[in-house]
Structure 1
Amino acid sequence: MSHDDAVSQSSPDHLQRKLQNRHLQLIAIGGAIGTGLFMGSGKTISLAGPSIIFIYMIIGLMVFFVMRALGELLLSNLQYKSFVDMAYDLLGPWAGFFTGWTYWLCWVSICIADLTAIVNYLTFWLPEGTQFTPLGGAAISAGCVLFLMGLNLLTVKLFGEVEFWFALIKIVAIVALICAGLYMVLTAFTSPSGSVASLTNLWTDGGMFPNGLKGFLAGFQIAIFAFVGIELVGTTAAETKDPEKNLPKAINSIPVRVILFYVLSLVVVMSVTPWRSVVPDKSPFVELFLLAGIPVAAIVMNLVVLSSVMSSMNSGIFSTSRMLFGLAKDKQAPSFFERLSSVAVPANGLIFSCVLIMSGALLQYFVPNTITAFTLVTTLSTILFICVWIIVLLSYIKYRKTRPQLHATSKFKMPGGVAMCYVVIAFFIFTVFILTLEPDTRQSLIVSPIWLVILALSYLMMKRKPV
């Protein structure tokens, strides 16, 4: 690796460990509560019905194993600044190049999807049946990107602080929704539409699998997108204080988060709002309170889901700049991206990514239906994230084969080891196959190989002529 490890952490040429334990814990939780839960769960419920509960539990378990593999690898060598360094070291330069640039595109595409979601949520405040003009949507998108870019340019500690509060808002809101929903169920609350809040709503209308196996499988696409970003703690490794103590804490809390934030919240939503009443292109979290006749709570929840999207974009802008910085350090991106500002922020990479994200807002012109645009972009990013997760697992397999002494002394071993890596890889490959079942997800799957071709050609050119 082309890293000068002898240089002091305080050097402006190196990222600095400014993120504290509370920042890391909330960043990890914020990554687990993504736009896919708030924006995409409506469509997933319409496809899969109550079986969405099992979908989230299965995906959550698989992603947990990815994170345990990632955690053991990062702690095996504290010089790894992210999983890009890890892939570069264990699998070779091609893997670092592929992982870094793919993860960068993942977050650029997620931020574009988030811009679509923001415009969708803001229509809540418009008169019934009206939409923003394309110009109005573009202006909103540009304003959001510029605001978050400004925050990220200041200091990494400010990023951690902003993400801490964004994540805290999401946690409080979901806990409040669960409490309110449970109260409605216990009191047999009857909505203005005549539906009675009850746990029996989960199975009395077609059972837990009302749309059969095909509906169950179709629900995986948006559901797996809800988990993207959960590996964000792997990009903060170089800027986290006491990683040996704080990384395991953040990773081990993933199962609790999945049960609380995904399973319980969706059980409550579908108990209060029968699954057939859930509108696919709206957030069921907001619609729950509207259906229950509590518009003030719906307004508050709409503000919460807006903050959730801003949180996702904040994480995305942070991640893209760190990926470009790491790639430049390894001579796999222009050296322009290696320069840090006076406050140790990779400003050039940050600004470059934000410009591309804003240009991606043009998608709103070509695909005016927000949920269609959201599905197209999220499917592409889901495919790319799956590729990154598989690289993490392949890195772990190589680590176990070539560095058994490090595994033997590890205090944070991955449960199931190499065998479980193969199980999770098989699951992810099966998930990609599932994307062929629906026309909208199939479109993104068909175009995704274009990125792989671009990467392969770029890598070959880079090898001939160093950056």
Structure 2
Amino acid sequence: MTSVQVDKDSDGKGAAAAAPEEGYQRGLGNRQIQMIAIGGAIGTGLFLGAGKAISKAGPSLILAYAIAGIVIFFIMRALGELLMYRPVSGSFSEYAREFLGPFFGFVTGWTYWLFWVVTGITEVTAAATYVQYWADVPQWISALVFTVVLFCINLISVKLFGELEFWFSMIKVTAIIGMILIGLGVITLGFSDAGDTASFTLLWSDGGFFPKGIGGTLMTLQIVMFAFLAVELVGVTAGEAADPKKTLPKAINTVPWRIAVFYLGALIIILSVVSWTVFEPGVSPFVAAFQKIGLPAGAGIVNFVVLTAALSSCNSGMYSTGRMLRDLALNGQGPKFFTKLTKNGLPLVGTSASAALMMVGVWINYEWPSEAFNYVVSFATISGMWAWIMILCSQLRYRAKADRGELPQSEFKAPGAPYTSWFALLFIGMVIVLMGIDKDARVSLYAAPIWAAILGVSYLVLKARRPEVFLPKEYRLEDEAETPGKKL
């Protein structure tokens, strides 16, 4: 089992020893880490979900994204502080286990694993529907092909995963920047079909900046937070980053400008080209903007971009699930066979099990009505936010211990903490309350207690059978059969 030993120096203060080699290959370079961080913040939540949010809040959605973006930055800086203290793969459950206790590590690891399995199911199914824009291919065939291809890519090498994610992210970034530049040209130069009406005054001329009131803006916050899910993925890459002490802080510090450009910038331009009253749920605002401008190829371009966004998310899910299962197994909170790695340092068993479950999801989506499938999908939001809550709570506990001299100070302190961390926790709590008010989002809160009960029972059974797993790490006996890095 992995463990972090704490040595006492001459002053009696604890100094965390370097984390043991986990058997992974540090094959993700700075260029790939940066793009994984960017790609994590840009997904179908922006390309498709923004249409529903705009129809609910109008131009004030820009403010909702700005406020939520500040909270996301607080979360990422809290994560960064923990990563510089101890950069490990499976970081969320590791930190929850160390600072909040074995139960929270257990729940966090399995919940984040489920989050990515569910997300992978929805994204690969969405990708299959996008293919039908060009060809009348049965949806299950496209879903099967995408799942198998991404699974194989994740079993070749972590470098190939990073390279594929780099280009997926590059496509998304290029599309958004292109949209912004074209929109600026329409607004300032007046060309295209939208040139006569395009203006920044559209942000407040059709019913004002808050056409649905403050309440309408607040009710979009859960849609906005869903769009930001996966931005924390950069933390999972810590165990395979070539130079985590350098690349991870740089990636985290880019969060503000990424949100400013790709979310706020894109929405300001789109809502200045097309009145917010035009947008409808289920219709991409990017498609609507291109159609208004009069670019016939626009819909096809956006469809391709959304396809890559879905595949990017599924690719990230394949990557994350295997690492989370292995982290749980290394700590005795999952089957031992998940600890094994290939010769290339890849968690074959965990990734294969997760991919198989994603295959079941494709079948369920084919057989069951879409309403039932949507109930499963809605759980992704609450399970993803659980990871954010655990990051913030772990950082608060770590900072308290570091300030008392019990642990070394991080090289990358979160600015304004602990106040910023408490603010982020309160904000997430408010979003959860709003989800309970919204009848469309309320179903995710029904699913959460069921999952919590399953985990609670599993925890009690495991604790009864293997109580040594839940002892403090310094009292555990090392098990050579679970040595990190054991190859298949």
Q: TM-score, normalised by structure 2?
A: 0.87
Determine the structure 2 residue equivalent to 1:331: 332
Kindly indicate whether residue 146 of structure 2 is the aligned counterpart of residue 144 of structure 1. Answer: yes
Q: Which residue of 1 aligns with 2:441?
A: 441
Partner of 1:390: 389
The equivalent of 1:22 in structure 2 is 31
CA 1:358–1:171: 2 relative to 1, 3 Å = same
Q: Aligned partners of 1:79 and 1:299: how far apart in 2?
A: 41
Distance 1:205 1:123, change over 3 A: farther
Counterparts of residues 108-147 of structure 1 (less than 5 Å) = 108-125=117-134, 136-147=138-149
User: 5+ unaligned residues in a row in structure 2: which ranges?
Assistant: 5-16, 470-488
Shift of 1:187: 2.7
Determine the structure 1 residue equivalent to 2:302: 301
* Distance in 1 between residues matched to 2:358 and 2:223, nearest whole Å: 21
Q: Which residue of 2 aligns with 1:157?
A: 159
- 1:48 maps to 57
Query: Using the alignment, how far apart are the partners of 2:18 and 2:395 within structure 1?
Result: 26
Q: CA contact under 8 A between 1:197 and 1:271: conserved in structure 2?
A: yes
Report deviation, 1:178.
0.5
Q: In terms of mean alpha carbon deviation, does 104-113 or 310-319 score higher?
A: 104-113
What secondary structure, in the 3-state scheme, does the structure 1 residue paired with 2:437 have?
A: coil
For residues 391 and 35 of structure 1, what CA distance do their matches in structure 2 show? 25
- SS of the counterpart of 1:191? coil
C-alpha contact (below 8 Å) 1:189/1:196 kept by paired residues: no
Asked whether the equivalents of residues 25 and 344 of structure 2 are also in contact (C-alpha less than 8 Å), the reply is: no
SS of residue in 2 equivalent to 1:439: coil
Residue equivalent to 2:177: 175
Give how far 1:293 is off.
2.1
Please give the per-residue CA displacement for 1:71-124, whole angstroms capped at 9, x wherever unaligned.
111111245652221211121211211111010011111112213422443343
Residue 406 of structure 1: how far off its partner (Å): 7.4
2:286 is aligned with 1:285: yes
Q: For 1:49-128, what aligned pairs fall within 5 Å after superposition? A: 49-78=58-87, 82-125=91-134
Displacement after TM superposition at 1:393 (Å): 0.9
Q: Is the 8 A contact 1:195 1:274 kept in 2?
A: no
Alpha-carbon distance between aligned partners in 1 of 2:196 and 2:144, rounded to the nearest angstrom: 41
Tell me the distance in 2 between the aligned counterparts of 1:219 and 1:190.
32
**TM-score normalised by structure 1 residue count:** 0.91
For structure 1, list consecutive stretches of 5 or more residues without a partner in the other structure.
Answer: 127-131
User: Taking structure 1 as reference, are residues 320 and 45 closer, same or farther at Cα in structure 2, changes over 3 Å only?
Assistant: same
Shift of the 249–180 alpha-carbon distance from structure 1 to 2, 3 Å rule, reads same
Q: Assess, with a 3 A threshold, how the Cα gap between structure 1 residues 377 and 53 changes in structure 2: closer, same or farther.
A: farther
Which residue of structure 2 lines up, in the alignment, with residue 243 of structure 1?
A: 244
Contact 1:190 1:196 in 2 (8 A): no
Alignment deviations for residues 24-71 of structure 1 (CA, whole Å, 9 cap, x no partner): 100000001122111211111111111111111111110111111111
Pair 1:378–1:368, CA change in 2 (3 A): closer
Question: Identity of paired residues, percent?
Answer: 43
SS in 1 for 2:418: helix
What is the Cα deviation at residue 367 of structure 1? 3.5
Report the Cα distance in structure 2 between the residues aligned to 1:163 and 1:397, rounded to whole angstroms: 32
The worse-fitting range, judged by mean Cα deviation, of 84-93 and 102-111 is 84-93
Contact conserved, 2:322 with 2:350, CA < 8 A, in 1? yes
- Relative to structure 1, the CA distance from residue 123 to residue 80 in structure 2 (aligned partners, 3 Å threshold; closer, same or farther) is closer
| Larger of the two Rg values belongs to structure | 2
Are the structure 2 counterparts of residues 6 and 401 from structure 1 closer, same or farther at C-alpha, using a change threshold of 3 Å? closer
Q: Matched residues in 1 for 2:408 and 2:338: separation?
A: 37
Rounded to whole Å, the distance in 1 between the matches of 2:267 and 2:407 is 38
* SS of corresponding position for 2:164: helix
Tell me by how many angstroms 1:182 deviates: 1.0
- Structure-1 residue corresponding to 2:452: 452
Q: Is the 8 A contact 1:188 1:198 kept in 2?
A: no
Asked whether the 8 Å contact 2:190–2:196 carries over to 1, the reply is: no
Task: Report what 2:465 is aligned to.
Answer: 465
- 1:7/1:379 Cα in 2 relative to 1: closer, same or farther (>3 Å)? closer
Letter in 1 for 2:417: G
One-letter amino acid of the counterpart of residue 397, structure 1:
L
Q: Quick one: distance in 2 between partners of 1:139 and 1:251? A: 38
| CA drift at 1:290 | 2.3
Against the structure 1 CA distance between its residues 220 and 99, is the aligned structure 2 distance closer, same or farther, given a 3 Å change threshold? same
Amino acid at match of 1:269: I
Residue 14 of structure 1 aligns to a residue in which SS?
coil
Contact 1:225 1:379 in 2 (8 A): no
Question: CA separation in 2, counterparts of 1:88 and 1:266?
Answer: 39
Post-superposition CA distance 1:262-310 (Å, at most 9, x none) = 0011111112221111131122112321232212233122111111111
Cα distance in 2 between the residues matched to 1:402 and 1:6: 18
Which deviates the most, 261-270 or 82-91?
82-91
Between the aligned partners of 1:112 and 1:187, the Cα distance in structure 2 is 44
Q: 2:265: which partner in 1?
A: 264
1:183-194 to structure 2, matched below 5 A, reads 183-189=185-191, 191=193
Give the residue type in structure 2 aligned to 1:306.
Answer: L
Question: SS at the partner of 2:370?
Answer: coil
Q: In 2, Cα distance between the equivalents of 1:408 and 1:18?
A: 28
Alpha-carbon shift at residue 7 of structure 1 (Å): 10
Aligned residue for 2:484? none
Alignment CA distance shift 1:426-1:149 (3 Å) = same
Aligned residues: 453
Which residue in 1 is equivalent to 2:216? Answer: 215
Q: Distance in 2 between matches of 1:461 and 1:355?
A: 25
In 1, the alpha carbon distance for the partners of 2:444 and 2:193 equals 39
What residue in structure 2 maps to residue 412 of structure 1? Answer: 412
Query: 2:145, 2:407 → 1: CA distance?
Result: 47
**Match of residue 313 from structure 2:** 312
SS in 2 for 1:267: helix
In 2 relative to 1, CA 231–79 (structure 1 residues): closer, same or farther, beyond 3 Å?
A: closer
- How far the C-alpha of 1:177 sits from its partner, in A, is 0.7
Which residue of structure 2 aligns with residue 368 of structure 1? Answer: 370
Q: Which amino acid aligns with 2:73?
A: F
- The one-letter code sitting in structure 2 at the alignment partner of 1:400 is R
- Aligned equivalents of 2:114 and 2:210: distance in 1? 35
Contact residue 69 and residue 393 of structure 1 kept, 8 A: yes
Tell me if structure 1 keeps the 8 A contact 2:82–2:410.
Answer: no
Q: Is the 8 A contact 1:110 1:377 kept in 2?
A: no
Out of 75-84 and 176-185, give the one that drifted further.
75-84
Whole-angstrom CA distance in 2 between matches of 1:399 and 1:32: 26
